[in-house]
């Protein structure tokens, strides 16, 4: 029993070793094999597997004698289609192996080489030709057969030669290869051109013939090599178009400007005609001097200026800022058109950059020089309103020049928010010249300066501690603005309205109310007066205390009324407080008016209607 088991194990080991001795193959793999026999229409091939495979003799090339070119002992490459069938044979294919080998070579040439392979045109098909690339069929479109049209399409059938692979793909067992004979011809032609180019040098003067004319230039045939004559190199005059001076077939003389060799070996030759003539810019510095008056024709209109042709090949440029003294021109096209004749003054000549700066406005005197001399500051003028804006009114001065009366210069007393409510176009007004800025073209006028500034008399008329009466003209969240006289206002901050806290000044007073308050601060430089109602209440309380003291004192020498005692106490209190507040104002230590001062500062530049900003400041 033991011997039988050992014998069985030895037999299994031998079978395993025998199985390992055979070559491990996979279906779809290309392997080399040896023809061991030819039986009927098949060649028996040993590929090192445990059984041989069969290859149909039809897959072998046919010799001149009409028989397949194969014999026993030949080594062949085959594709394993199926490892074993029901009879234990391997299915092999030489034809498919050949195609795979050729396909691999085609892929290598297409991906790594120059893409050129040898082939033969075997037939015509719809849209082109079928080309045999060593056993693999490819398609060549008719447009890729030659560099020029072929009259007899059948003349290419049977011809062999080089073809360039344009496209190569394989999907689901189908092969798609597109080739070109034209690409090979073009390459060979380019190689011949390259040889010819060895005789071309930059600067050479050559004869050529106009081959083709385009919008951007012309192609010149130099005898097998085409050169490009660009539009800008035909003439020094930029207005010249290629079709104006050239026609197809014309014989021309050109100069080689540049020879460029591309990475793919393609040569580009740039040619010129204007370079055979003198450059007009060589004489520009002698012909055009700064300040010269010149005439020219508008050749181009841009958003920022115009080009003016002074002579063939020489142009100047006028910027929008140099077109008018009095108008800010934003669209030159509204004033100038191509072909217009204009006069201009030469401002600058830059020969190196081939630029001439021109000015049209400098052909006339600067009107701003005239008005600056005619209207010195302080001059009174009367004129009509030409335009009204939110920030002021424009008044006509001289031709093309307007003066501006800013809203802040309309009145000493009124805060003008909308000038259109007070004035209308065409209305005649009187104003005083404040200043004229010729560089920035600004003419500033003032209506309020027609009368003296009331603030000049404020330091004499008003003192800290004075009790004044005025009209409420504006109410904001931070206090009341009170007009003391025409052009003089004071601010009662919300903290100075009463002894108790006031949340809403609008509940305290209304616009138009008359109100009495004490002056607690005056700043003539900032044109600010700070007022306080609360201070009056404090005075009354102190005056009342003084009356009580008088009533408890010894009898007076003569009878006095209670009103007299109050009056006397108030006068004494005013003297004391006036001195204290004068000292506080001089020492900048008026603590009682701190909040009001801050509010006045905030409202000094801003309109009183902007309480949030003033409160924040």
CB-CB contact of 102 with 135 (8 Å):
yes
Structure tokens at 372: 């600056």
Q: How far apart are CA 333 and CA 355, in angstroms?
A: 22
Q: How far apart are CA 617 and CA 604, in angstroms?
A: 11
Q: DSSP assignment of 515-529, as one string?
A: EEEEEEEEETTTTEE
- What are the distances in angstroms from CA 130 to CA 169, 179, 575? 16, 10, 124
Nearest alpha-carbon partner for 432 in 456, 407, 412, 403? 403
Q: How far apart are CA 53 and CA 46, in angstroms?
A: 6
Burial class (CB in 10 A: 0-12, 13-18, 19+), 253: exposed
Domains and CATH numbers, the chain: 30-113 (2.40.50.140), 114-186 (2.40.50.140), 199-276 (2.40.50.140), 280-363 (2.40.50.140), 367-450 (2.40.50.140), 454-553+560-616 (2.40.50.140)
Enter the pTM of the model: 0.42
Nearest alpha-carbon partner for 470 in 461, 480, 479? 480
Is the Cα dihedral 596, 599, 604, 608 positive or negative? negative
Q: How far apart are CA 448 and CA 170, in angstroms?
A: 93
CB-CB contact of 364 with 325 (8 Å):
yes
CB-CB contact of 297 with 344 (8 Å):
no
Give the pLDDT confidence score for residue 299 in this predicted structure. Answer: 92
Give the model confidence (pLDDT) of 582-609 as tens digits. 443 433 333 333 333 333 343 333 333 3
* Beta-sheet pairing, 528-532 with 488-493: parallel
Q: How far apart are CA 593 and CA 143, in angstroms?
A: 98
Give the pLDDT confidence score for residue 434 in this predicted structure. Answer: 92
Q: How far apart are CA 550 and CA 389, in angstroms?
A: 64
Q: How far apart are CA 166 and CA 111, in angstroms?
A: 11
Give the model confidence (pLDDT) of 365-399 as tens digits. 888 888 888 899 999 999 999 999 999 999 988 87
Q: How far apart are CA 527 and CA 508, in angstroms?
A: 25
Structure tokens at 348: 């600058």
Helix axes 534-551, 562-586, angle to 10 degrees: 130
Q: How far apart are CA 460 and CA 485, in angstroms?
A: 14
- Nearby residues of 185 by Cβ (< 8 Å), 6 or more positions away: 146, 147
Q: How far apart are CA 130 and CA 153, in angstroms?
A: 13
* Beta-sheet pairing, 314-319 with 355-359: parallel
**196-228 residues labelled b (16+ CB within 10 A) or e (exposed):** ebeebeeeeebebebeebeeebbbbebeebbbb
Nearest alpha-carbon partner for 44 in 73, 15, 86? 73
Q: How far apart are CA 412 and CA 450, in angstroms?
A: 10
Mean pLDDT per 10-residue interval, the chain, length 617 residues? 50 47 63 84 80 79 77 81 67 76 81 86 91 85 86 87 88 80 85 68 85 90 83 87 88 89 78 90 91 93 94 92 87 92 94 93 87 89 91 87 90 81 90 90 90 85 90 91 88 90 89 91 90 87 68 48 48 52 39 34 36 34
Give the pLDDT confidence score for residue 377 in this predicted structure. Answer: 92
Give the pLDDT confidence score for residue 566 in this predicted structure. Answer: 44
Q: DSSP assignment of 280-319, as one string?
A: GGGGHHHH--TT-EEEEEEEEEETTEEEEEEETTEEEEEE
């Amino acid at each position: 029993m033991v011997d039988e088991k050992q014998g069985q194990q030895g037999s299994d080991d031998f079978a395993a070793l025998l199985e390992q001795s055979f070559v491990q193959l996979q279906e779809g793999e290309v392997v080399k094999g040896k023809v061991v026999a030819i039986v009927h229409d098949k060649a028996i091939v040993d590929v090192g597997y445990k059984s041989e495979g069969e290859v149909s003799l039809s897959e072998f090339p046919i010799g001149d004698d009409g028989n397949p070119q194969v014999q026993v002992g030949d080594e062949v490459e085959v594709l394993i289609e199926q490892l074993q069938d029901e009879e234990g044979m391997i299915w092999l294919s030489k034809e498919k192996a050949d195609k795979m080998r050729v396909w691999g070579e085609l892929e290598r040439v297409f991906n790594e080489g120059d893409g050129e392979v040898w082939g033969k045109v075997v037939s015509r098909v719809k849209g082109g030709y079928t080309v045999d690339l060593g056993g693999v069929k490819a398609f060549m479109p008719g447009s890729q057969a030659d560099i020029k049209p072929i009259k007899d399409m059948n003349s290419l059938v049977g011809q062999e030669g080089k073809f360039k692979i344009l496209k190569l793909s394989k999907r689901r067992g189908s092969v798609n290869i597109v080739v070109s004979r034209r690409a090979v011809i073009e390459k060979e032609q380019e190689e011949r051109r390259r040889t010819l180019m060895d005789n071309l040098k930059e600067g050479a003067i050559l004869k050529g013939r106009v081959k083709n004319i385009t919008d951007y230039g012309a192609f010149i045939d130099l005898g097998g090599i085409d050169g490009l004559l660009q539009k800008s190199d035909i003439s020094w005059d930029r207005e010249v178009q290629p079709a104006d001076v050239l026609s197809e077939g014309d014989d021309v003389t050109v100069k080689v400007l540049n020879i460029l060799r591309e990475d793919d070996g393609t040569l580009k030759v740039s040619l010129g005609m204007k370079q055979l003539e003198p450059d007009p810019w060589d004489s520009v510095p002698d012909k055009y001097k700064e300040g010269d008056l010149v005439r020219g024709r508008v050749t181009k209109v841009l958003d920022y200026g115009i080009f003016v042709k002074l002579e063939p090949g020489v142009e100047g440029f006028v910027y929008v800022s140099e077109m008018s003294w009095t108008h800010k021109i934003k669209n030159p096209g509204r004033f100038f058109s191509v072909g217009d004749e204009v006069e201009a003054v030469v401002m600058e000549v830059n020969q190196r950059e081939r630029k001439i700066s021109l000015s049209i406005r400098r052909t006339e005197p600067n009107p701003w020089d005239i008005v600056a001399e005619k209207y010195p500051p302080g001059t009174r003028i009367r004129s009509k309103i030409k335009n009204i804006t939110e920030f002021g009114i424009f008044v006509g001065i001289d031709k093309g020049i307007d003066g501006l009366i800013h809203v802040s210069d309309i009145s000493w007393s009124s805060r003008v928010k909308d000038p259109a409510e007070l004035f209308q176009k065409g209305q005649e007004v009187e104003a005083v010249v404040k200043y004229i800025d010729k560089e920035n073209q600004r003419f500033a006028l003032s209506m309020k300066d027609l009368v003296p500034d009331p603030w000049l008399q404020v330091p004499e008329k008003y003192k800290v501690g004075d009790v004044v009466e005025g009209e409420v003209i504006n109410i904001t969240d931070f206090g009341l603005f009170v007009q003391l006289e025409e052009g003089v206002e004071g601010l009662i901050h919300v903290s100075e309205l009463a002894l108790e806290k006031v949340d809403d000044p609008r509940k305290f007073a209304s616009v138009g109310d008359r109100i009495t308050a004490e002056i607690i601060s005056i700043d003539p430089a900032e044109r600010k007066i700070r007022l306080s109602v609360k201070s009056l209440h404090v005075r009354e309380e102190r005056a009342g205390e003084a009356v009580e003291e008088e009533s408890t004192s010894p009898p007076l020498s003569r009878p006095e009324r209670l009103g007299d005692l109050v009056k006397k106490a108030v006068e004494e209190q005013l003297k004391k407080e006036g001195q204290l507040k004068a000292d506080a104002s001089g020492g900048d230590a008026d603590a009682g008016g701190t909040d009001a001062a801050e509010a006045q500062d905030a409202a000094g530049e801003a309109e009183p209607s902007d309480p949030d900003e003033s409160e924040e400041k």
